[in-house]
Structure 1
Amino acid sequence: MDKLLSDIRACEVCKVHLPLGPRPVVSAHPEAKIIIIGQAPGTKVHNSGIPWDDASGRQLRKWLDITGDLFYDETKIAIVPMGFCYPGKGKSGDLPPRPECAPLWHNSLFDQMPSLELIILIGQYAQKYYLKQLAKKSLTETVKTYHEYLPKYIPLPHPSPRNRFWLTKNPWFEVDVVPILQQKVREILD
């Protein structure tokens, strides 16, 4: 695993497309039981090199009902984005994750984490990649039918402050999905 993580962190495959240059952000360990697959680091995470080191990460930890120490314990939780580097700015937020990363690195990482029990899919890119034809027409429908993907996967919206509108429009998420998410995380990590 150390060699693989070192190779990922040294990756420059899509260097010419990255406005801030490559800085792959990933956290994994062979003993991890949960993997969080998000989109791609933002500028704050690019600068710190710490996954989910921003407001989105604070919200995600609240949804998971875990401390920062537990969240960053790579022997328990692996953090593997769809795109390992900051992809740049788009019209309405960051650009999508670079398409090279997941096919290049994900299977190798998964192969070295035999204890995985739950894969948390955050956002439409992770959900479409992993759920394939099982993903619904929209992120909202996919998240709403989360029970169809258990026990292996649980789809979530992005916890970004930009998603306040989505959360306000879909109060069922925090009433129905978050408690199940917290229960699953507790069962696996206890």
Structure 2
Amino acid sequence: MEDALETLLREIRACRICIENPRGKPLPHEPRPVVVASRAARILIAGQAPGTRVHASGLPFDDRSGDRLRGWMGVSRVEFYNPDKFAIVPMGFCFPGYDDKGSDLPPRRECAPIWYARLMAEMPQIELVLAVGQYAQAWHLGRNRGASVTETVLQWRSFFASQRKPLVLPLPHPSWRNTAWLKKNPWFEKELLPVLKREIQARI
């Protein structure tokens, strides 16, 4: 008998709702949901949505942003893509396309309401959530998040002190477009990243 998580993942990978019944503009390409989930991983990376390179490869964070994120986490590419160590679930499973300025659009609005809670329910073993970017932070922190990503990440100690389960650690998006943000906020690398690496090493 097929495991309930495997059944759910099969349903997600066959999802075509943003083509058949879209909330807004339909996808500009054939859907290719990208998600990694397992019953062994104790850490969940909650991202935003795949970019063009991830859409092409089918591997989450298979780009320069992923290189930076793995550096923040202190893990190798092999460790990162081991589903027994990390689940990787974006708020939107497919590349959403570009806006008029050539930037990636936000995650599709259809995905999270349909799939996200169901996936979380199938992974009760998750102990630590890395909430990458504003959309993941909105889902996992709700009203507790700040008015901006910067304010939310600044509050990271309070989220740990709350002892909520799973623990949620908010992170800015590792896009290279955020290099200026990192220079402006040196506390992130000095104070938060050592804790991030410690918490990850305790769970892999």
Check whether TM > 0.5. Answer: yes
Could you tell which deviates more after superposition, 123-132 or 34-43? 123-132
Partner of 1:100: 110
Pick aligned residue for 1:133 from 139, 143, 153: 143
Pick aligned residue for 1:171 from 162, 175, 186: 186
Could you tell which deviates more after superposition, 100-109 or 53-62? 100-109
Q: TM-score, normalized by length of structure 2?
A: 0.90
1:115 deviates by: 1.2
1:12 deviates by: 0.6
The count of residues paired between Structure 1 and Structure 2 equals 189
CA distance in 1: counterparts of 2:152 and 2:110, whole angstroms: 24
CA distance in 2: counterparts of 1:122 and 1:53, whole angstroms: 15
1:85-164 aligned within 5 A: 85-90=94-99, 91=101, 93-150=103-160, 151=163, 152-164=167-179
- Which one-letter code corresponds to 2:92 in the other structure? G
Secondary structure of the corresponding residue to residue 61 of structure 1? helix
1:129 deviates by: 1.9
1:10-25 aligned within 5 A: 10-15=14-19, 17-25=26-34
Gaps spanning 5+ residues in structure 2: where? none
1:186 deviates by: 0.8
Secondary structure of the corresponding residue to residue 137 of structure 1? coil
1:112 deviates by: 1.4
CA distance in 1: counterparts of 2:157 and 2:102, whole angstroms: 31
- Which one-letter code corresponds to 1:99 in the other structure? R
Could you tell which deviates more after superposition, 147-156 or 47-56? 147-156
Q: Is the counterpart of residue 30 in structure 1 residue 39 in structure 2?
A: yes
Could you tell which deviates more after superposition, 57-66 or 149-158? 149-158
Secondary structure of the corresponding residue to residue 131 of structure 2? strand
Q: Is the counterpart of residue 187 in structure 1 residue 198 in structure 2?
A: no
Q: Which of structure 1's runs of 4+ aligned residues deviate more than 3 A?
A: none
1:38-75 Cα offsets, whole Å, 9 max, x none, are 10000000000011100000100000000111111111
CA distance in 1: counterparts of 2:43 and 2:111, whole angstroms: 20
- Identity across aligned pairs (percent)? 50
CA distance in 1: counterparts of 2:110 and 2:139, whole angstroms: 12
CA RMSD of aligned residues (A): 1.1
1:59-74 aligned within 5 A: 59-74=68-83
Pick aligned residue for 2:50 from 26, 41, 48: 41
Q: Is the counterpart of residue 79 in structure 1 residue 115 in structure 2?
A: no
Partner of 1:7: 11
Secondary structure of the corresponding residue to residue 153 of structure 1? strand
Larger Rg: 2
Could you tell which deviates more after superposition, 90-99 or 176-185? 90-99
